[in-house]
Structure 1
Amino acid sequence: MNASPDDAPVLLRREGGAGHIVLNRPRAINALNHAMVRLMDEALSAWQADESVATVVLTGAGERGLCAGGDIRSIHDDVRAGGGGASAAFWHDEYRLNARIARFPKPYVAVMDGIVMGGGVGVSAHGSVRVVTERSRVAMPETGIGFVPDVGGTYLLTRAPGELGTHLALTGTAVGAGDALLCGLADHYVPSERLEEFTAALADSEASDAVRRCAAAVPAGELAAHREWIDHCYAADTVEEIVDRLHACGDRHAKQTAETILTKSPTSLKVTLAALRRARELPSLEAVLDQEYRVSCAALGSPDLPEGIRAQVVDKDRRPRWSPAALELVTEADVARFFEGVGPKAPHLRCRSGTDGLG
């Protein structure tokens, strides 16, 4: 595969036995759009079949981060103007890409430097070698925009120790390197000053050798010290009870967390908790991605998604008007609507487990 022009949204190049994918929208912190997903998928397909490619390396252009997520402004505009059809098509291909990355038969090295959120987690944390730095800030912040963790996020978060994944999903908290490793979102810590050496070593070395050469001791995180109240409070059956437990447990951090949760979309919070609990019982990443696709498509018909994006990135007033406005007003039927997926007309990815994760 030939190198890409410098202004392409995804830059592709070869260095020895390494195929490099560089997300190249630095002004948008490399937010993903449909064209980028297609380019990544084409590169992985070509390099999977190319025996001269031993390793794939994912990085982001610019100084701010690997990827801030999907291009949510375009989702807002699509919902307002076209009912969300383009967004559903984007997610269809994006989630299938997430599955391909998880099943990719060669080392897939994701350099999770700087901001890595939402869709950025999807193209990195399913990889086989996931590297964080002292600058990493990893998050699934969807409840703050009236959405639900996707891109396999509910699969990853349900596999975090105890209830840490539930905490991250409901609050949208961004974690650093130590906590990313604790939660299973990353594998290795490489100081940012050694990233150039690390990626250069991948041209003619096994990924494991490059890691041994450049990795350092993992810095301490923050979540381990709060496991007692996190595991107790988030084990509750409802979001309302979680909030009550957080307020009642006597820890100031827990109380602050309760207040954070109450700023998020009430509908998104309840659907997210249901999605996490359902994901625990599903047999594979592909099955979870299929569930997430149905939930995401349902969110296109919810008033909270365009409203949340409006408040965060369009008008930037940070004052979303959620509908319904309170947890107690979100009914079981409201939540169940997001999971309706029986019948031939229901949206499905039709992913399957296999070497490329595609149906």
Structure 2
Amino acid sequence: MSEPEITSAKIGHCGLITLDRPRALNALTHDMVSAMAIALDDFAQDPAIRTVAVRSSSPRAFCAGADIRRVHEHGKEGRHDAQLHFLRDEFRSCYRINTYPKSYVALTDGIVMGGGAGISIHGAHRVVGDAVTFAMPETAIGFFPDVGASFFLPRLPDRFGTYLAMTAARINLGDMLALGLANAHVPSSRFDVLVEKFAAGEDAAKAIASESVAPPPSDIMKEREIVSRAFAFSSAKRIFTALADAAHRGSEFAETALEILYSRSPSSVVIALRQMQLGATLDLAQALNLEFRIAARILRSHDFYEGVRVTLVDKGDIPDWRPAIIDDVRAEDIDAYFAPLGDKELMLPAGLI
């Protein structure tokens, strides 16, 4: 029998959930999402549990995202219902974490990307270790920033959320704290001590504060002027132009950001920008409902399968994006991704405990 990919245990007053799929960097499968939901329900109903902590068994990654390879395979097999069943449960899990009745603590270190953000950022306490790396990498594979990114990214300061959504850029520990994606830095070597304090019944916020240390300075905040100016425009074309102007004036950061954007799926880049514009006025449930609409369409698109092929299957090829350039992305085609799904809507928060 295969080993479980996620485990849960009651340790005193702490409910501990451990992601344990290290070879796949804890990429989330449907079974893992389901197992986590069961554990969260059990801990919520146990009066002895005061804090629920989620961590990884591996220092390399908290969670690198959803198991996109498996989602890709389902689509190639024509199993679109299986794709959406997984995303439906994953999105519901994000909402469940956000509304969880007990202290929810994400102890994150190593890679935190995509779906890993969904099971950490929506919690009350987002603790980051020494080697954490964050990204919403979806535009690189012809997908889009999901798991509630339409809610949490637009609320970052200085248009950094739009920058992260469109470019899929990676940021570090200091950046995460400066932007508010995490709210405490605890050395990774002290994660076990934190769990012991939770188990002893210590208040989660007090325990985290007692173990927190000052984060290193943020690198990305040095570029706040360029980001806030360039990514404030309402069209992707104007953002590209603003970055090109800044690069011409000598900004290496702008030049790199522009090069990255040119490598991403043009359709995904425009979808991500639209998400950021709409998400600024949405609550989390509304954002997840919107993202489910996009997912239902994008999982049938050429760019998603091309992006996964180049990134995870064949590797190394130059993706054949369709359309290939930002100028050829039509507004009406982007509108179609955001259209209602009728009786197939996600419809959060209906039906949740």
1:130-169 map, 5 Å: 130-169=126-165
**Counterparts of 2:49 and 2:194 in 1: how far apart (Å)?**
17
Corresponding position: 1:27 with 2:26: no
Secondary structure of 2:157's match? coil
CA apart distance, 1:327: 0.7
**Counterparts of 1:289 and 1:165 in 2: how far apart (Å)?**
16
Q: Structure 2 length normalisation: TM-score?
A: 0.96
Secondary structure of 2:199's match? coil
Corresponding position: 1:105 with 2:101: yes
Q: Which residue of 1 aligns with 2:220?
A: 223
Please tell me the residue identity of whatever aligns with 1:281. T
**Counterparts of 1:323 and 1:6 in 2: how far apart (Å)?**
40
Q: Which residue of 2 aligns with 1:271?
A: 271
Please tell me the residue identity of whatever aligns with 1:12. S
Secondary structure of 1:262's match? helix
**Counterparts of 2:209 and 2:317 in 1: how far apart (Å)?**
44
Where structure 1 has 5 or more consecutive residues not aligned to the other structure, the ranges are: none
Where structure 2 has 5 or more consecutive residues not aligned to the other structure, the ranges are: none
CA apart distance, 1:352: 2.2
Task: Pick from 197, 201, 206 the counterpart of residue 203 of structure 2.
Answer: 206
CA apart distance, 1:83: 4.6
Q: Which residue of 2 aligns with 1:352?
A: 349
Secondary structure of 2:126's match? strand
**Counterparts of 1:33 and 1:146 in 2: how far apart (Å)?**
20
Aligned length: 349
Task: Pick from 178, 181, 186 the counterpart of residue 177 of structure 2.
Answer: 181
Secondary structure of 2:147's match? coil
**Counterparts of 2:299 and 2:221 in 1: how far apart (Å)?**
36
Mean Cα displacement is larger for which, 172-181 or 140-149? Answer: 172-181
For residues 202-228 of structure 1, the C-alpha deviation after alignment (integer angstroms, 9 at most, x for no partner) is 111111222122110121111211110
CA apart distance, 1:158: 0.5
CA apart distance, 1:192: 1.5
Q: Which residue of 1 aligns with 2:304?
A: 305
Query: Identity, % of aligned pairs?
Result: 36
CA apart distance, 1:262: 0.7
Q: Which residue of 2 aligns with 1:321?
A: 320
Please tell me the residue identity of whatever aligns with 1:248. D
**Counterparts of 1:297 and 1:32 in 2: how far apart (Å)?**
19
Please tell me the residue identity of whatever aligns with 1:51. P
**Counterparts of 2:80 and 2:196 in 1: how far apart (Å)?**
41
**Counterparts of 2:121 and 2:197 in 1: how far apart (Å)?**
21
CA apart distance, 1:182: 2.0
Q: Structure 1 length normalisation: TM-score?
A: 0.94
1:282-301 map, 5 Å: 282=282, 284-301=283-300
CA apart distance, 1:90: 0.3
Secondary structure of 1:38's match? helix
Q: Which residue of 1 aligns with 2:238?
A: 241
1:93-132 map, 5 Å: 93-132=89-128
Q: Which residue of 2 aligns with 1:37?
A: 33
Q: After the TM superposition, which segments of 4 or more aligned residues of structure 1 sit over 6 Å from their partners? A: none
- RMSD of the alignment, in Å? 1.5
Secondary structure of 1:19's match? strand
Q: Which residue of 2 aligns with 1:281?
A: 281
Q: Which residue of 2 aligns with 1:254?
A: 254
CA apart distance, 1:266: 0.3
**Counterparts of 1:238 and 1:123 in 2: how far apart (Å)?**
31
Secondary structure of 1:317's match? coil
Please tell me the residue identity of whatever aligns with 1:44. L
CA apart distance, 1:148: 0.6
